Amino acid sequence: MRRLALVTDAWLPQTNGVVKTLVRLVKYLEAQGVEVLVLSPDAHLTIPCPSYPEIRVACDPWKAIDRIRAFEPDAVHVATEGPLGFSTIAWLRYRGLRFTTSFHTRYPEYLSARAPVPLEWGYQLVRWFHRRAEHTLVSSMSLLRELEGRRVGRRLIHWPRGVDADCFHPDRRREDVYALPGPIWLYVGRVAVEKSLEDFLKLPLPGTKVVVGDGPAREQLQRGFPDVVWRGYRFGEDLSAHFASADCFVFPSRTETFGNVILEALASGLPVASVPAPGPIDLIEEGVNGALDDNLFEACLRAVHCSRERSRASIVRRTLRTGHDVFRAHLVPWRPETPFVLPQAVPAF
């Protein structure tokens, strides 16, 4: 595979786990000599996503098809269930072409959280999206088993996620990052309704709660919780320092497919308190690197006492390269092989 067409509705300048995963993947593949054409909204006429204006979606997604044809890829991977993703898969299915997909986001749950749409309707769309994919890559085993139960995808593959353990490291800890009453309870991620962030913000925890990130729910939550410290987006070494300088990472979302920020917290030596959702279930070992509990307050009180050294040690073998190699190994040629048919014998006259 030397030429890959990657179709994604989530791409720069968006800031989220899906974009971070795909950007790292593209950089790795290009370093391995693979030419990658990223088909994303930035090359299209876009409109703001309803209820999430900082995310823009393509309103002419069919134009991606001509770019794929001209590129003549060896493989096509469709990463997201958005306008570009659905349009591309409709064309691939119509033409009888092969492709792979990945499951990054719980769109049925997100849609139901924002509009009166039954969950099952969303999953009917998701099943159609992944039904003809040769492989559907899934970030955790717990999520993979859940999708099997929902009949999503026909060949689900565990796609392990890794972390840059050099960037996110306990050595990034700095006393001047917070200068606030401790302990520091940190959340990093989107500030949106589906993240259940209010479940964290209302906890009667000692010390200071800090939110790093932004999103459509920030203004309302910031008014409702004035004692919380809101830092907005942070990047690079500044983000690494925010992780390493806190005392406990809190992950309240019940709609996750994985949670890359959990890996970044653990690599920074930060124990994690979470509700038992796919992703956290696969990463958090009770009493070792954090705590899982439907009662998030109880999880926080247990997790904050976990060893920073053991938190770091629990994930250092989760390298980025391992996940990238799994992705590459499960790509498929997009054009079906033409079966060889023996010529019929020429009748003798």
Structural domain total, the chain: 2
CB within 8 Å of 224: residues ≥ 6 apart: 198, 201
Q: Would 340 be classed as within a structural domain?
A: no
Residues 185 and 235 in one domain: yes
Residues 271 and 285 in one domain: yes
List, as one string, the DSSP characters of 95-156: HT---EEEE---HHHHHHHHSS--HHHHHHHHHHHHHT-S-EEES-HHHHHHHHHTT--SSE
For residues 316 and 162, is the Cβ–Cβ distance under 8 A?
A: no
Supply the pTM of this predicted model: 0.85
pLDDT of residue 336: 76
Residues 273 and 212 in one domain: yes
From residue 319, give the alpha-carbon distance in Å to each of 120, 189, 316, 324, 325. Answer: 36, 21, 7, 9, 11
Q: What angle do CA 210, 213, 214 make, to 5 degrees?
A: 120
d(CA 334, CA 297): 49
d(CA 319, CA 336): 33
Residues 233 and 112 in one domain: no
Q: Would 199 be classed as within a structural domain?
A: yes
Q: Would 344 be classed as within a structural domain?
A: no
Domain that holds residue 87: 3-162+321-329
pLDDT of residue 108: 84
Q: What is the CATH number of the domain that holds 119?
A: 3.40.50.2000
| Secondary structure of residue 7 in the 3-state scheme | strand
Residues 205 and 239 in one domain: yes
d(CA 191, CA 194): 9
pLDDT means over runs of 10, the chain (349 residues): 95 91 96 97 91 87 97 97 96 97 88 82 94 96 93 95 94 96 96 93 98 95 97 96 98 88 97 93 95 98 98 91 95 74 38
Residues 135 and 218 in one domain: no
Residues 8 and 153 in one domain: yes
Residues 153 and 19 in one domain: yes
Residues 146 and 184 in one domain: no
Q: Would 96 be classed as within a structural domain?
A: yes
d(CA 59, CA 44): 7
From residue 232, give the alpha-carbon distance in Å to each of 46, 51, 150, 180, 252. Answer: 25, 19, 36, 17, 18
Burial readout 180-210 (b: 16 or more C-beta within 10 A, e: otherwise): eeeebbbbbbbbbbbbbbeebbebebebbbb
Q: In the sheet that 136-138 helps form, which strands lie side by side, from edge to edge?
A: 35-39, 3-7, 75-78, 100-103, 136-138, 156-158
For residues 194 and 113, is the Cβ–Cβ distance under 8 A?
A: yes
Report the first-to-last Cα separation within the chain, whole angstroms: 49
For residues 259 and 283, is the Cβ–Cβ distance under 8 A?
A: yes
d(CA 276, CA 267): 20
CB within 8 Å of 193: residues ≥ 6 apart: 113, 114, 216, 217
Residues 210 and 155 in one domain: no
Place of tokens 């999430």: 52
Q: Would 274 be classed as within a structural domain?
A: yes
Residues 312 and 325 in one domain: no
Q: Would 347 be classed as within a structural domain?
A: no
Q: Would 122 be classed as within a structural domain?
A: yes
- What are the φ/ψ torsions at residue 213 (nearest 5 degrees)? 135, 180
Q: Would 14 be classed as within a structural domain?
A: yes
Residues 276 and 238 in one domain: yes
| Secondary structure of residue 184 in the 3-state scheme | strand
